[in-house]
Structure 1
Amino acid sequence: MKSLKTILFATTLTAGLGIFMGTTDAHADSLYTVKSGDTLSTISHQFSGDNSMIDLIAKDNNISNINMIFEGEQLTIRTADEAKQAPVQQESAQQAAPAPVQETEVQAAPVAQETVPATAATTSSAKEWIAQKESSGSYGATNGKYIGRYQLDASYLNGDYSEANQERVADSYVAGRYGSWEAAQSFWMANGWY
């Protein structure tokens, strides 16, 4: 895991660059260079605030596997106005082609569930999957400077290794770096860490 300061600085710098580039010409596409840790989901969030642009970015850049982008790759990102118009213009083409697999669709072992909304069930499945991969679900697991159920850098936990703090810090880390547990799981599957 990288230092939280480095991650926050890179995220802030990228967001600032995105805002700056977006103010130069309302009708120009943006050119985005993929950085370490990026996914189409995180890039879509930077430009639109949600996952609505994943398929559009993949189509515009001829990405056949939306779970695989490479550091240094340059992607063309449509402006917000063009992206809103694109689904209407491409509707017939999308109906003819099979829908691509979304980043958030993950094969996981079935989990017994009570009446839980679908998004909460998916998030808890992805979160549990990562916990099992990182520590076999143990809050007491250690690996050098990585501590607990989610193998967080000890500096993130500030000396408080309680279960509640591990959960709180893990949720905050994943939300800041990936946007969701599903995106973190996709990244883990591609890279062997999150």
Structure 2
Amino acid sequence: MKSLKTLLLGATLAAGVTVALGTANAYADTSYTVQSGDTLSTISAKYSDDSNFIQSIAEKNEITNINLIIAGQELIIPTNDGEVVEAATQKQETATEPSYTEEYTAPAQETPAATTSSAKEWIAQKESGGSYSATNGRYIGRYQLDSSYLNGDYSAENQERVADNYVINRYGSWENAQAFWLANGWY
């Protein structure tokens, strides 16, 4: 009888330990380093198909302006018992194209060649029809830059120089800026 009680007690304790260990959260949030050209939209697309995931990342990292992240910044990608990590793994295994094409696929006639000059010209045509004198409230010129970026110099040379600096600092390349424009309707 004593050995039966010992056996039952041992089995009960083993089951309790197994349940306790089995219910512990074995998943931790994922860390991500922002790369040049990244946006919260493109990062979110790497981990989830849910468009609300952008807000989850912003809240987890206390980002007040979802349009402003910096290359090299460490972000914590929230997970829900590993679901986000698993979704990211599946996406990486099956994806053959950059994630922005999953968000938006442009019609065939709008898909330009992947060169800097064509991407830059494509954006200029979308933003202003290519006109250096186009205005839209506080947005000025060929690339519809905020007037504060131009510092009162609306010359074609300054617009080109400022647009190049803006795109390189924010997106890393004109191609990345074009991809962002395709996904969001602005750059």
TM-score normalised to structure 2 length: 0.50
Structure with the greater alpha carbon radius of gyration: 2
